[in-house]
Chain A
Amino acid sequence: MSDSTNLSSASVVEIQRLSRSFGAKRALHEVSLSIPRGGVFGLIGGNGAGKTTLIKHIMGMHYAQSGSVRVFGMDPVAHPVEVLGRIGYMSEERDIPNWMRVTEIMNYTQTFYPAWDTKYAEELREMFDLDPKQRIRNLSRGQAARVCLLLALAHRPELLVLDEPSSGLDPVVRRDILAAIVRTIADEGRTVIFSSHLLDEVERLADRVAMIHDGQIILHDRLDTIKESFHRFTLRFEQPFNEAPLILGTIERKGAGHEWTYFCRGDRDQLIQAARTLQAEIVQETLLSLDDIFVCNVTRS
Chain B
Amino acid sequence: MHTITAAMAWEYFARNRWTLLLFPFVANLMPIFVLGALSGYNVNFGSKEFIGIYLGFVLYTTAIIGIGVLMTQGSISRFYLKPLSTTTMVNFFFWGGGALAAAEIACSIAIWNNLFNANWPIAGPVLFAIALWGSFQPLLRVPVKSISGIITAGAIVAGVGYWFLSRHDELEGHGKNFWHNISGFDLLFAVVAISVGYGLTLWRVRWDRSGRQLMTLTDRIEEAFERWLCQYFTLNHTFSSPLRAHRWFDFQTRTFMLPLVCFLFLGAIWSIALGMAAYNQDHKIGIEVIFSCTNITAFAQLIIAFVIGMVMIQGYQWNSGRKMRGQDQVAMKPSEYRIGHYLHSLPISPTHMARAILQSAAWSIGASTLLMSLSLGLLWAWMSLTSFNVHTLIKPDIQFWQLAVIGVSFYVFLPFALMNNIATFTLVVNRQVWLPPFIIGTVILIAVWPLFVGLALVAAVLGLLTYCTIQCLKRKDVTPLATATIWSFGVIVSIALALSFRPEDWRIASVIAASLGTLTILPFFSLPLALQYHRTT
Whether chain B is bound by chain A comes out as yes
Residues of A in contact with B (beta carbons under 8 Å apart): 59-63, 77, 80-85, 87, 89, 91, 93, 95-101, 103-104, 107-113, 133, 137
Bound-state Cα–Cα, A97 to B346, Å = 13
- SS class of chain A's interface: helix, strand, loop or mixed? loop
**For the complex, what is the distance from the CA of A112 to the CA of B345, rounded to whole Å?**
10
In Å, the complex CA distance between A217 and B248 comes to 43
Given contacts A93-B328, A103-B235, A110-B238, contact A61 B334 (CB under 8 A): no
CB-nearest residue of chain A relative to B328? Answer: A93
B83 at the interface (CB under 8 A from A): no
Point out the residues of chain B lying under 8 angstroms from A83, CB to CB: 347
Q: Across the interface, which residues of B come within 8 angstroms of A108, CB to CB?
A: 235, 238-239, 245, 248-249
* CB pair A91 B245 closer than 8 Å: no
SS class, residues of chain B in contact with chain A: loop
B333 within 8 A of A: yes
Given contacts A97-B339, A101-B234, contact A109 B536 (CB under 8 A): no
Residue among A104, A111, A113 with max Cβ neighbours from chain B (10 Å): A111
Contact (Cβ within 8 A) B536 A112: no
Residues of chain A with a CB closer than 8 A to B347's CB: 80-85, 112-113
Question: Closest residue to B344 on the A side, CB-wise?
Answer: A61
Residues of B within 8 A of A103 (CB): 234-236
Is B336 on the interface with A (CB-CB < 8 A)? Answer: yes
The smallest beta-carbon distance between B236 and chain A, in angstroms, is 7
Given contacts A95-B334, A103-B234, contact A111 B244 (CB under 8 A): yes
CA distance A103 to B349 in the complex (A): 24
| Most chain A CB neighbours (cut-off 10 Å) among B239, B328, B342, B349 | B342
Asked if B341 CB lies within 8 Å of chain A CBs, one says yes
Q: List 20 A-B contacts (CB under 8 A).
A: A60-B535, A61-B345, A61-B535, A80-B347, A80-B535, A82-B347, A84-B345, A84-B346, A84-B347, A89-B341, A93-B334, A98-B334, A99-B253, A100-B235, A101-B234, A107-B238, A108-B248, A110-B238, A113-B347, A133-B230
Interface size on B (CB < 8 Å)? 35
B230 close to A101 (CB less than 8 A): yes
Chain A hits for B334, CB < 8 A: 93, 95, 98
**A95 with B345: CB separation less than 8 A:** no
Partner of A107, one of B236, B240, B241: B236
Most B Cβ at <10 Å: residue of A60, A82, A98: A98
Q: Are A111 and B245 in contact (CB under 8 A)?
A: yes
Residues of B within 8 A of A95 (CB): 334, 338-342
Report A-chain residues with C-beta under 8 Å of the C-beta of B236: 103, 107
A59 to B340 alpha-carbon distance, docked (Å): 12
CB pair B346–A61 under 8 Å, yes or no, is no
CB atoms of B341 and A93 under 8 A apart = yes
Given contacts A61-B536, A63-B536, A84-B347, contact A97 B342 (CB under 8 A): yes
Q: Which residues of A contact B535 (CB under 8 A)?
A: 60-61, 80
Q: Could you tell me the distance in whole angstroms from the C-beta of B475 to the nearest C-beta in chain A?
A: 10
A107 & B237 in contact (Cβ 8 Å cutoff): yes
* Residue contact B537 to A97, C-beta cutoff 8 Å: no
Residues of A contacting B345 in the complex (Cβ-Cβ under 8 angstroms): 59, 61, 84, 87, 89, 91
